[in-house]
A and B are shown apart, each in its own frame.
Chain A
């Protein structure tokens, strides 16, 4: 395999990506996405590690979202891939080729900036054709591609306007068209939807997915919006304080969070604080909450000890059907919030343990209850996660 020659030293290749490297290197550029490897990527700003030893393999054609709160280093990672920030250590390879020290204009990556960074003095057409001009493509190619791109992003009639005259959604599409017109193997999106209003954001999420499927380009998206991450991505990488906390498919992360941070960050969660203890008679671990409730721990938490948090998603809890569940407790409804499709109940199990329950607003399924009435909450053991405090915090 001659292609191994171009793989830089120190690059950690793992299982699946090894074959990806070999496949994609012979592909003509543009027909399909390129794979991306980040190896031990680190960025220090004055002694503070904004990005700390990040290693990620992204397969060709994958839609990956880097998710994290602000200050988690996710944008820095993206800017390092784009070549706008120089890594302090580690390497970046695209399609098996080390680009760590390549200038941005030689990386051939499409980037959509958070502010879109459209050139205000150029018309839409001039903005979109800019990358082709820089590549000195022929006039006929430029014309044809600009037209194709404008059709692709569904903006056929605004070629001669300037960005200042466009709406936010239109600007976003122009920025996309500009980033895609030169058929880059990888598209980088920096919080691409954050400036749009909610409705537009939701429709753009589906459009982006569709575009991704159509073009087969590898997409690396950066966002702090968890819904966006879950809706759009094949894979989500969650970052915190410059490190990768967990990565996996949206359902994997949602169903099997490895830490309370991930559980809390993705979706809403109930946490019951307490202490893991071994019960005397059954030799089974269970969590005794601050309020004194004894909750059984799932299989994974058996044998663990010490202060811990029990997590259960609000939509996995049922009200008033004790027979159908493995665990149930009595409580009193403290608050009811009606949001249309969902109804949220806040149930006080005792003075210190409070739990949120979300029920679908389907006819006939709601318990006849009001604030102050007594209910039983119940869940099955497989929906319960326990995180030991010392390791998660």
Chain B
């Protein structure tokens, strides 16, 4: 009895810091968004009516979903061969591919947006090459329009597609393909009959993940899109910052949150489709797995009627010499795509060292002037220092709050554990712009805008899921009996944690700390709303730079950011090689563990 009470108290005290942070600064603002959507005084559905009656609103909503759907489908088409290649190549090649896929993921979204502008712009690399070669007379319009958004978004979303796909492909027994071949099937039909249906859960999971993230994406469409490429999330931002129409923005946010919530639920079910017996699991199984089979059976039936193969034809098939290398097409495609993933980042390196005032590729002469420019000008240096300060504060806060919380949800037994976990992880799923405006409204009232502390608190909230996921994974992979053993030897629970669990967990915690640092250091949206003039961070400065005065300083900053980020990521990966492997933003711990370079 005593132990249960003390256990309860222990759990509560471990979760207390997280509760003190999340209740006022995360849950309350979101609740406030819901209440604002229902009108300032009394309950009114006027805002919601406007959502569904205003043709412009509806058009943007439709456009946003269409846009997310196109990106998801493009990602499946581009990413499936890569995931398949990862399944069939040797372990070493698989690690290389995984690294190349994750590399862009570790790079700031602003840097990647900037890279695409440099490559696709009117005087960008593609256009200058094409006009120099005389293939086109007029530069093609590749950016600041829908094409640009698609290219940039697929570049960003591809890892989120490839990882769940690979995860489900890796569970397929390749001997099934051998069996299919001995039973008379060509490799291509073996693929459609065996591999594709068995990988459908992965396809669905990837589609949902990409769709969900694309709907909530703000920075990239805003950078690479044209005036007409407005998405719902951009419209929300416009309602808040330009029109000050909070009620409508709140209603729009609620709508997006509901959609995201439903998609997240579907995603969870898809991941466990074999295990879940609920309606969603059934739908996934019947529609997405059995569906293709029925189609194939019907196709064969019709073909058997129309174009029957006679036995003699089968017997007299030519003795074909075996194809030279197998899966050649898949492999070529994969390497080509991987090059396209990494190349845009490499393009920035020569530009950063250029000696010209305009972005020209390749530069005619090289110098360090843009790096000097960065370090000598206050309007670059100050934001950089602010960013570092905020990131350090965030790291300390997120670790101090996240590690106990992770310990409570892994080791603790208490009612409502599922909900607590969901809340701790949810900042990863809620579109950051919606969280940003909700926090902005709160900070405005308490004069917290433009303060370092305020910004850091916001960053802690978005960094917390990464810390919780990483540390949880680490905890799950350590033996609970170690602590029990320490207890039997006379150590108290706190002492046992301190001398047994903590050292075992250290790699996971170090990894989580790096992740928290980077989450803060890379954040654009939250900083855009909360930093004001006095706490402007480096990403905000870059954002302004890319939008208003593109000059090579940004290339120099990008190169530095890339090197720092990649260095950090490697450092974060390093200690966790053996324990928790989870540092892919937006993925659940399970997938992250799968993707962590096995």
Contact = CB atoms under 8 A, between A and B. Distances in A.
A136 B315 contact: no
Contacts of A126: 293, 297
Contacts of B301: 139
B304 A84 contact: no
A310 B510 CA distance: 68
Interface stretch (A50-58, A110-118, A301-309): A110-118
Given A101-B319, A134-B189, A182-B184, A121 B198 contact: yes
Contacts of A134: 183-186, 189
Contacts of B178: 82, 84, 104, 113, 117
Contacts of B372: none
B333 interface: no
Contact of B300 (A83, A101, A105, A133): A133
Given A126-B293, A134-B189, A102 B319 contact: yes
Most chain B beta-carbon neighbours within 10 Å: one of A108, A119, A120 = A119
B300 A136 contact: yes
B197 A99 contact: no
Interface string B287-305: 0011001001100110111
A115 B177 CA distance: 13
B179 A121 contact: no
Given A105-B181, A105-B185, A117 B175 contact: yes
B92 interface: no
A115 B307 CA distance: 34
A130 interface: yes
A86 B179 contact: no
A135 interface: yes
B571 interface: no
Given A86-B322, A104-B178, A139 B315 contact: no
B308 A138 contact: yes
Contact of A84 (B182, B289, B293): B182
A116 to B, nearest CB: 8
A296 interface: no
Interface in B297-345: 297, 300-301, 303-305, 307-309, 311, 314-315, 317, 319-322
Nearest to A109: B182
Contact of A111 (B179, B193, B289, B317): B179
B180 A83 contact: no
B346 interface: no
A139 B299 CA distance: 12
Contact of B176 (A106, A119, A137): A119
B182 A111 contact: yes
Contact of B173 (A86, A110, A117, A138): A117
A216 interface: no
Given A83-B181, A108-B184, A130-B180, A101 B322 contact: yes
A178 B311 contact: no
A223 B78 CA distance: 44
A206 B300 CA distance: 37
Given A98-B319, A106-B320, A117 B184 contact: no
Contact of B304 (A102, A117, A139): A139
Contact of A120 (B198, B303, B304, B319): B198
B263 interface: no
Contacts of A82: 178, 182
Most chain-B CB neighbours within 10 Å: which of A82, A122, A136? Answer: A136
B235 to A, nearest CB: 42
A90 to B, nearest CB: 16
A105 B184 contact: yes
Contacts of A135: 184, 309, 314
B484 to A, nearest CB: 36
B307 A130 contact: no
A121 B175 contact: no
Interface string A137-161: 1110000000000000000000000
A385 to B, nearest CB: 41
Given A130-B185, A136-B304, A115 B173 contact: yes
B194 A119 contact: yes
Nearest to A122: B293
A86 B322 CA distance: 9
Interface in A35-62: none
Contacts of B305: 138-139
Interface in B134-183: 173, 175-176, 178-183
Nearest to A129: B297
Contact of A133 (B176, B194, B297): B297
Contact of B184 (A99, A119, A131, A139): A131
A122 B178 CA distance: 16
A316 interface: no
B198 A29 contact: no
Contacts of A179: 182-183
Given A135-B309, A138-B304, A103 B184 contact: no
| Candidate in B178, B315, B322 with the most chain A CB atoms within 10 angstroms | B178
A107 interface: yes
Interface in B107-122: none
B303 A136 contact: yes
Nearest to B177: A117
10 nearest A-B pairs in the assembled complex, by CB-CB distance: A117-B179, A134-B184, A104-B181, A111-B182, A131-B183, A134-B185, A133-B300, A136-B309, A136-B304, A106-B317
Interface of B: 173, 175-176, 178-186, 189, 193-194, 197-198, 289-290, 293, 296-297, 300-301, 303-305, 307-309, 311, 314-315, 317, 319-322
Given A29-B311, A83-B182, A108-B315, 16 more contacts: A84-B178, A86-B322, A104-B178, A106-B320, A108-B184, A111-B182, A111-B183, A115-B175, A119-B193, A122-B293, A133-B297, A135-B309, A137-B304, A137-B308, A138-B305, A139-B304
23 contacts: A83-B182, A86-B322, A101-B321, A105-B182, A105-B183, A105-B185, A110-B182, A115-B173, A117-B173, A119-B194, A121-B293, A130-B183, A130-B193, A133-B297, A134-B186, A134-B189, A136-B304, A136-B309, A137-B304, A137-B308, A138-B308, A139-B304, A179-B183
